[in-house]
Amino acid sequence: MVSTDAAPAIVVLTGAGISKESGLATFRCEGGAWQQVRIEDVATPEGFSRNPQRVHDFYNARRAQLAEVTPNAAHLALAELDRHWPGDFLLITQNVDDLHERAGSRRLVNMHGSLRRARCLGCEAVSPWEGNTTLDSRCPACGEVGIMRPDIVWFGEMPQQLERIYAALGQCELFLSIGTSGHVYPAAGFVAEVQGRARTVELNLEPSKGASLFDEVRQGPATELVPEFVAGLLARWR
Ligand code: APR
């Protein structure tokens, strides 16, 4: 039983909506990525086997975009919460951009991988990656050429660090979901994991698919809702 004055254990889940106001496209909103390209072609192992160049091009373009964007007030507020929260804290992002890291978040899991890493299909080593992945990329670990892929979790693949994620959900007393449509599992199922034990809050531009599962839903842009919510938490617990 947690004593009443202990800071509750917090788990935050973010999706593409938190990076929208930094200038990065979401997936399912108007003009989103999945209206430009087919998931089957660029976000599945089969798509990569069929046409690896097309997949390299898709992620290379998104990686190049990172140089043009910066963390917004929502990313920065979550990094401040991470820095000052006296209790357990984990930020789980579905995003593959590096804006949470650049904002200063440390207790962070990129469950769908990261544009800043590439993985060798031969030795499975994951390496930090700047610039383009190509059909001629060499693995920094084993030296093999032509078998590098983006370290992105595609549909049909296992998300990363699930053990750490479910351990945090098991202790969670406050679950905050920000900027995600609730379409993709397992992330869309996290709220059901903690329901009844944790206070659950959704901060989103519009209600997500799972909005009815939350104790509280606040609608609006992340750069307004997140700093306000974090300030309220820190005023009480810092
Ligand atoms: N502030 C807050 N929320 C926003 C904002 C904003 N400025 N702009 C958009 N949103 C919300 C939308 O209302 C939507 O609910 O962000 C959500 C974005 O939903 P998606 O585009 O589906 O992105 P996401 O939920 O992160 O997708 C999950 O699907 O394709 C896969 O791997 C991909 O990680 C991705 C996963």
Is the ipTM beyond the 0.90 threshold?
Answer: yes
We find that the CATH architecture of domain 27-68+115-152 is 2-Layer Sandwich (3.30)
Q: What is the DSSP string of 108-164?
A: EEETTEEEEEEEETTT--EEE--S---TTPBPTTT--BS-EEEEEPPTTSPPS-HHH
- What is the pLDDT tens value at each position of the chain, 238 positions in all? 444 578 999 999 999 999 999 999 999 998 899 999 999 999 999 999 999 999 999 999 999 999 999 999 999 999 999 999 999 999 999 999 999 999 999 999 999 999 999 999 999 999 999 999 999 999 999 999 999 999 999 999 999 999 999 999 999 999 999 999 999 999 999 999 999 999 999 999 999 999 999 999 999 999 999 999 999 999 998 7
Q: State the pLDDT at residue 238.
A: 72
Cut 0.90: pTM above it: yes
| Every domain range in the chain assigned CATH 3.40.50.1220 | 1-24+72-112+159-237
Q: Name the CATH superfamily for 1-24+72-112+159-237.
A: TPP-binding domain (3.40.50.1220)
Task: Please check if 24 is assigned to a binding site.
Answer: yes
Q: State the pLDDT at residue 5.
A: 73
Q: State the pLDDT at residue 121.
A: 96
Task: Please check if 28 is assigned to a binding site.
Answer: yes
CA of 161 to the centre of ligand 1 (A): 21
Q: State the pLDDT at residue 3.
A: 45
Of 56, 75, 100, 112, catalytic: 112
Would the CB of 29 count as within 6 Å of ligand 1? yes
Structure tokens at 111: 């469950």
Does the annotation count 112 as an active-site position? yes
CA of 216 to the centre of ligand 1 (A): 18
CB 97 within 8 A of CB 120: no
| Every domain range in the chain assigned CATH 3.30.1600.10 | 27-68+115-152
Query: Which of 111, 110, 109, 104 minimizes the C-alpha distance to 81?
Result: 104
Q: What is the DSSP string of 167-218?
A: HHHHH-SEEEEES--S-STTGGGHHHHHBTTBEEEEEESS--TTGGGSSEEE
Would the CB of 72 count as within 6 Å of ligand 1? no
